[in-house]
Every structure is written in C-alpha cells, then in structure tokens.
Amino acid sequence: DNILLKSKFRGCLLGSLIGDCFGAPFEGDVMTGGGKVILQKYFDKLEGANFKGPIKQYTDDTAMTKCIVKSLTDKPAVDFKFMARLFVKEYFSDPRRGYGKNVVDVFSKLRANKFEDIFKPAEEQFSGMGSFGNGGAMRVAPLALYFHDNYQAMIRAVSDATRITHTHKNAINGAILQSMAVQQCLRLDPSEKVDTHKFVNNLIDKMRIIEVEDEGLDTEFLAPYKEKLVDVQKLLDSANDDTDEIVRILGNDIFALHSVPTAIFCFLRAQLPIPRITTDNKLRRSIQYAISLGGDTDTIASMAGSMAGAFLGDDYINKHLLRHCEGHKEMSEMADNLFAVTEDVDSA
Ligand code: F2R
Ligand code: MG
Ligand code: MG
Ligand code: MG
C-alpha cells in the first residue's frame, strides 16, 4: 500500500545516506579484527540517546544521489541534460566531497562544451574506454524508486544517468544491477524473512538477459556480473565469514564490478546474525558489515544501506543514529517529494 511504499522511499534514501556518512571515515581501510571492535563501539556510541559528536559529512555518493532526486522532482519527464547540469553545478559549488580522480574531468568538459553532447566527455575517459568506476551505481537508488513499477523504463533511465559520467559496460551494468536490487527490495514484505536464494536467482536471471541475450552473445563466458552473483550465492550457502576470502572473491574497491555484488552480498548476509556484529537492527547490520569489509566503505555501505532501507522502510531506522548524518532532514523531505511526483506519474 501507499503508506508502506512511502516509508520504503524514505528508508532507501536514508539508508543510502547513513551508509555514506558512517562509511566515509573508513574509506580505503584494510579491516582487521581490532578494526571490527572499533566499528562495533563506533555504532554503539552513535546509537546512544545522549551522544553528542561532530556531524558525519556525506560524500560524492550522496551529493550525486541528491542531484538525481532533484532532477526527477523538478523535471518528472526525466531530462538527462538537466541531470548533467545538476551534477556539474553541484561539483563546482562543493568540490571537496571526495569525488573520483577522473570523473572531475568529465564535469569540466561538460561545462566547457555547454552540455552540447552530454555523453561525449564520458566516452573520452581512459583513452576512449570509459570509466568502470562505481560512480554510476552509487547514485541510482532514486531511479529504482521512481520507476518502481516499470522495470524496462528503469533500465533505460539508469543506463542514461550513468553514461553522463561512465560509459564502460561494467559501470553501466553495475548501476543497472544496483537498481534491480533496490527494486526487488521495494517488493519485499518487511515483516517476512528474505528468501536470499530466490533474491540472488532473480538477479542472475535478469543479468543474464542484460549481459548475454541483449548483447547477442552465444556464450555466457563474458557475463562478469552473472558470475559474481553465482559467487554471492555460493558464499551465502557456505556461511563463510572470512573477510579476506570474501574480499578476494567479490572485491571491495571503487570498480563497479568489485563493489555492487559485494553490497548485495552484505545486505543479504545481514539478514542473519554475523559474528562480531552485535545488533538486532538489520539496516545497521547491513551497513556495519559492509564497512567491516574495508576498501570503498562509503560506497558499498551506501549501496547496501539503500537496499536494506528499501526493504524495511524508515520505521526501522534508529533515529539516534540518523541524527548524526549531515542533511538527514533534507533527505527525508526529498524522499517524500520523490514519492509525490512518482504518484502523479503513476496515476497519469
Ligand atoms: N574517490 C573516492 N575514493 C578514493 C579514495 C579516497 C580516500 N579517501 C583516500 O584516502 O585516498 N571515492 C569516490 O569515488 C568512487 C566513485 O568514483 P567514480 O565516480 O567512478 O570516479 P572515476 O574517476 O570515474 O573512477 C574511479 C577510479 O577508478 C579507476 N578507473 C575507472 N575506470 C578505469 C579504466 N577504464 N581504466 C583504468 N582505471 C579506471 C581510476 O583509478 C579512477 O580514478 C566512490 O568510491 C566514491 O565514494
Ligand atoms: Mg564517496
Ligand atoms: Mg566520484
Ligand atoms: Mg567510495
């Protein structure tokens, strides 16, 4: 119903914000056992009713996610040139958010070319190869919300929203996979257990179409996301909790291929208790677990948080934790605005 869906919109965007804000201080870390103890204390402290600490700043992940929300609420017909302008305006007004090293060249070129061809600067990245970073995937949650009942339109919009900065197939397909996972979470009942096997199998079936059938391939050999999802399934089945092994198999870096499947794994693994993570809250567990893997912690925790929030809704978010995040009130309002325009489009 509508009340639940509205709460899922908020949960998704706030889960994404929390993952980014709490993950950012650990970005690039290699997590040891001691690091995990510190992480547990960090979350316990932040959940305390009386704890006062400096606000946790969000990074490029949230800055760009907010641009996509604003693009959809201001121009619900979906205008990618407008979206590109918002990315560029945001970057130049607030450049110190930890953007990727190369994506900033795209922003400069877009501005210099006056947005004449919004996909060309990204195509020129890395000698024409395009970026395979996770900067597309990290920002697409609002598109999964907006197109919650139109799968094909979501795929097209996610692809175009990604191609403004990232044109490598792995960046685009990673963003598509992230949006599929969020969309599947919206359809889950928060009062029921997640069938993790079915969740992954649905993603495998969808990625086979994207990576193999749509590409006209007669082999499944070149389907890297499908392969990673098979690894996710195996890791979930094996109940292997060895961080080094998980990172070796799935990855935890800024490449889309080494972070989107990892985020999906974190969300699904967090449906059951995890050693050395003491909490009953599955949203916190998803985010804390993602950070505990180290590497690109803000982005992987943000993507996992958006899934957990889209599954559970905002009632499950610890309000003490949330108030430490920069811009949480604005993000909550933006989620409501996005929900309102989505309803208008649905009923039109
Ligand atoms: N930039 C970061 N984190 C860097 C670590 C900062 C840390 N605090 C520190 O101490 O060093 N975080 C943010 O960037 C990621 C998203 O990046 P995005 O938007 O995809 O950027 P970009 O520049 O396009 O790609 C990132 C890097 O990936 C490598 N790469 C991408 N495509 C490549 C290709 N075709 N060939 C070779 N290398 C490629 C490059 O090193 C890029 O610079 C998120 O984590 C966000 O939080
Ligand atoms: Mg970041
Ligand atoms: Mg970036
Ligand atoms: Mg990051």
Contacts of 208 (CB under 8 A, 6+ apart): 220, 223, 226
Report the nearest-CA residue for atom 47 of ligand 1: 299
**Gap from CA of 27 to ligand 4 centroid (Å):** 6
**Gap from CA of 1 to ligand 2 centroid (Å):** 33
Q: How far is CA 225 from each of CA 61, 144, 204, rounded to the nearest angstrom?
A: 22, 19, 8
Q: Is the pTM of this model over 0.95?
A: yes
**Gap from CA of 87 to ligand 2 centroid (Å):** 14
Helix (H) or strand (E) holding 298: helix 297-312
The atom of ligand 1 lying closest to the CA of 102 is 23
166-203 pLDDT, tens digit per residue, is 999 999 999 999 999 999 999 999 999 999 999 999 99
Instruction: Report d(CA 155, CA 23) in Å as an integer.
Output: 27
Residues with CB under 6 A from ligand 1: 27-28, 59-61, 98, 100-103, 126, 129, 131-135, 138, 168, 254, 296, 298-299
Residues 261, 250: contact at Cβ < 8 Å? yes
At 31, give phi and psi (nearest 5°): -85, 125
Report the nearest-CA residue for atom 25 of ligand 1: 133
In this structure, how many other beta carbons lie within 10 angstroms of the beta carbon of residue 20?
A: 33
At 133, give phi and psi (nearest 5°): -70, 170
pLDDT in single tens digits along all 348 residues of the chain: 899 999 999 999 999 999 999 999 999 989 888 899 999 999 999 999 999 999 999 999 999 999 999 999 999 899 999 999 999 999 999 999 999 999 999 999 999 999 999 999 999 999 999 999 999 999 999 999 999 999 999 999 999 999 999 999 999 999 999 999 999 999 999 999 999 999 999 999 999 999 988 887 776 667 999 999 999 999 999 988 999 999 999 999 999 999 999 999 999 999 999 999 999 999 999 999 999 999 999 999 999 999 999 999 999 999 999 999 999 999 999 999 999 999 887 776
ipTM: 0.94
Q: Which ligand is nearest to the CA of 62?
A: 2
In this structure, how many other beta carbons lie within 10 angstroms of the beta carbon of residue 150?
A: 14
226-235 pLDDT, tens digit per residue, is 999 999 999 9
To the nearest 10°, the Cα dihedral for 240, 241, 242, 246?
80
